[in-house]
Structure 1
């Protein structure tokens, strides 16, 4: 009996450790992914220019870029400069399309209630009988409705653990299951891989 009790205690401690470290690990992995991307862009050219190896340059440059961008975009003149930069980005073929799409997704996650995603829903995706959490963005345009034979909506399906990437699908309105779950709480479920299941008030 004592051995069984010890095994249960060890199991409980181990599971508690997993639940504690998982959100930290996911957050750190996403941050390091960003650092590595910045590092891969700037480290090589800087090392060739300076003639010696640089370590941690991705972390330093990432923090500097975030800080400087925040300073610029909170200043009135900076906002105008950034808007001018965005206008140039929008006019570049392909680049403008990618930038516009990514910005809209990020804005949707950062938006106040009612300004970004509209509703948390369940849809049968990727096949019948499998239900996936998603967010309604807007109604589908007329040319899609005419080809599908039904009025539909665009539903964004986020991925785990990075919800800013995902799939955009069209779903007929009569096949949507609306959930009484806030977008914020639904995101917690998605990011945690279902481990966190917030209770609605």
Structure 2
């Protein structure tokens, strides 16, 4: 987590620098990527966040352990890729792993809060588009599986939150993809999406926020 502390520290310093350039005649629109490693295995968390989930009701997987021979073909391949047959994970280890993961989600929440606070302090919040997403989830012992590389909910479902001018508030349950991030940001920034169409299968999510149906499939591999 020290790595993520430094990432956020450098990000906030960059925001302060950008705020000082707001009145500069040569000031240009900017894009800042803040990439955090948490939450991720190993499931180690600071005590202040760990303690938040001491009595969490979700520490046990919803779907318990499924034996190797009863798994689907792809999950059996994951068993062997991670060498699962050579060790045993106890129910208590599963609970502690999930507690550490949940704790680190709260840690990331606080880090995101630090960034948003600087945007408010520098009066840039109202003119900034914020997009929060992740590359993959973690099975966290569901079905006896861990990490990513499957199409089950724990692995494939990730957060995608967008806030800023031009984004209507609401919850969208239509399946979308990280491939949609670039077209959406271009749309919000007034950049012709046709310019990037040849190299992406994503589509802008703005029509969804206005009640329109998705017209493109969600591609996964």
Q: TM-score, normalised by structure 1?
A: 0.25
TM-score, scaled to structure 2: 0.23
* Larger strand proportion of the pair: 1
More helix per residue = 1
Compare relative contact order (CA 8 Å, sep 6+) and give the higher one, 1 or 2.
2
